[in-house]
Amino acid sequence: MLASALLLSALAPLQAQPAAASKAAARPAAAAATKAARTVLFMGDSLSAGYGLAASEGWVSLTAERIAKTKPGWRVVNASISGETTAGGASRIAGELQRNRPAVVVIELGANDGLRGLQLAQSRANLERMIQAAQAAKAQVLLVGMRMPPNLGKEYTQGFERNYRELSQKYATQLLPFLLEPVAMDRAAFQADNLHPIASAQPKLRDHVWTKLGPMLK
C-alpha cells in the first residue's frame, strides 16, 4: 500500500486441410506464435496492480491495450501485488521469469520498503537481485522509481532515490525516476483513501512510463 499524501508533501506513491497446405499454413502461424511469446513482465506493488480500480482501468492494463494496438507480437503479464516489497519481488522473480520468459521486465518496487522505514541497503540488495535475475534471463529491464517524504529525513530520502539511479547506472537499465511524477502534486488525482491515483489519472501514468517502455519494444 502506498501513501500518496506523503508523496504530495515530498514534492511541495481452425477444419482439416491436405498435409501440404496444412504445413504451409502452419509456417506463418508459428511465426505469429513466436512473436506473441515476446512478453513484458510487470513486477510491482499496488500502484501497478490497480488497487481500487476495475481490472481494465489501471495504467498497466492501459499499457497492455496500447501494446496490443501498436506493438504486434508483444503481450503483457502483470505480476504486481498490492503491498509488495522488494523482498517479495526478489523471492518471486525466478518463478515469474521461468513461467513467462519475458523479453522486458518492468520493476516498480521499493515504495513500501521506504514507507516502512526498511534499511536502504536491504532494499537495494533486493532490487539488485531482481535486475541480475532478469538480465541473466536475457531480458531488458526498466526500473521504475519512487520518492519518499521529507519527514523520513534527508539522508534517507536522498539515499532512497539514489538507489534507483545507481542501480540503473551499474546494470545499464532503463530508468524512470518517479512513477507518480505526472499526478503527485494533484490531490484530486487520488482516490478517497488518499493512497492511490483514480481511474482518470491512470492514462497519465501509462503515458509517463511509455516514454521509457515504448522504445524498448522493438
User: 76 in a domain, yes or no?
Assistant: yes
Find how far residue 34's CA is from the centre of its chain.
23
In the block, residue with C-alpha cell 526498511: 118
- Side chain identity, residue 5: A
Instruction: Find the helix packing angle between 120-136 and 86-100, rounded to 10°.
Output: 10
| Set 4, 45, 46, 113: catalytic member | 46
Between the CA of residue 94 and those of 33, 89, 104, 132, what are the distances in Å?
Answer: 24, 9, 14, 10
User: 122 in a domain, yes or no?
Assistant: yes
User: 20 in a domain, yes or no?
Assistant: no
The candidate with the shortest Cα–Cα distance to 128, out of 164, 78, 83, is 164
Three-state secondary-structure class, residue 61: helix
User: 22 in a domain, yes or no?
Assistant: no
The neighbour count for residue 47, using CB atoms within 10 Å, is 28
Distance CA 60, CA 144 (A): 13
Give the pLDDT confidence score for residue 14 in this predicted structure.
31
Residue-wise pLDDT tens digits, 30-66: 444 444 569 999 999 999 999 999 999 999 999 999 9
Give the pLDDT confidence score for residue 210 in this predicted structure.
98
| Set 48, 61, 80, 196: catalytic member | 196
User: 108 in a domain, yes or no?
Assistant: yes
CATH code for the domain of 88: 3.40.50.1110
| Set 9, 22, 56, 193: catalytic member | 193
Find how far residue 70's CA is from the centre of its chain.
19
Helix/strand/coil percent split, the chain, to 5: 55, 10, 30
User: 36 in a domain, yes or no?
Assistant: yes
- Side chain identity, residue 173: T
User: 125 in a domain, yes or no?
Assistant: yes
In the block, residue with C-alpha cell 484530486: 188
Give the pLDDT confidence score for residue 24 in this predicted structure.
43
Give the pLDDT confidence score for residue 194 in this predicted structure.
78
**Are residues 21 and 123 in contact, defined by beta-carbon separation less than 8 angstroms?**
no
User: 177 in a domain, yes or no?
Assistant: yes
Which residues of the chain are modeled with pLDDT < 70? 1-37
Residue 121 belongs to what H/E stretch?
helix 120-136
Total number of domains constituting the chain: 1
**Are residues 45 and 84 in contact, defined by beta-carbon separation less than 8 angstroms?**
yes
**Are residues 179 and 7 in contact, defined by beta-carbon separation less than 8 angstroms?**
no
The neighbour count for residue 205, using CB atoms within 10 Å, is 24
**208 belongs to the catalytic site:** no
**Which residues constitute the domain of residue 44?**
4-11+31-216
